[in-house]
């Protein structure tokens, strides 16, 4: 039993170190365009786009897309509004509509589903986060994790 708990903590720590080291690499690359990618472009990638636009240096293009876009989940809009970020005008976009030539960095956010493929020369990073359920608190948890990671990424 002790061993299982230790393995879970080590696995969790590896995931934590992984996104931090990836964020450090992204900082070093000084990207001009970051694309957040998931399947539906309805929750995780939309929240990431909204938060990153608020935190990124001026001149950095931030966008999001999905392999099977649907519509922006109203809970995503609500939980970002709670922290003063308005994404009410966002729409779900297809990865096919993104010009691969202009993207420097792609961050995939999918966890339990197959991540979309992005064709282009952008550097790829994976920050797997669970797809929020219908519960508002699950959206807040994903928002808070994205906020923590993006503050780290964009801090000077």
Residues assigned a catalytic role: 38, 110, 115
Distance, CA of 152 to CA of 142 (rounded, Å): 15
Question: What φ, ψ does residue 61 adopt, rounded to 5°?
Answer: -85, 130
Q: How far apart are CA 7 and CA 125, in angstroms?
A: 24
């Amino acid at each position: 039993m002790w061993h299982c708990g230790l393995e879970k903590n080590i696995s969790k720590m590896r995931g934590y170190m992984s996104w931090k080291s990836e964020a450090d690499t992204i900082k070093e690359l000084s990207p001009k365009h970051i694309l957040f990618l998931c399947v539906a472009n309805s929750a995780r990638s939309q929240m990431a786009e909204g938060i990153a636009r608020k935190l990124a240096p001026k001149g950095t293009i931030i966008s999001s897309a999905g392999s099977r876009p649907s519509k922006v989940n109203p809970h995503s809009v609500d939980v970002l509004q709670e922290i003063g970020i308005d994404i009410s005008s966002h729409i779900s976009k297809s990865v096919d509509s993104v010009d691969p030539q202009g993207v420097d960095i792609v961050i995939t956010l999918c966890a339990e589903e197959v991540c979309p493929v992005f064709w282009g020369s952008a550097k790829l990073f994976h920050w797997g986060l669970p797809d929020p359920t219908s519960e508002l608190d699950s959206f807040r948890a994903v928002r808070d994790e994205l906020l923590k990671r993006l503050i780290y990424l964009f801090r000077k």
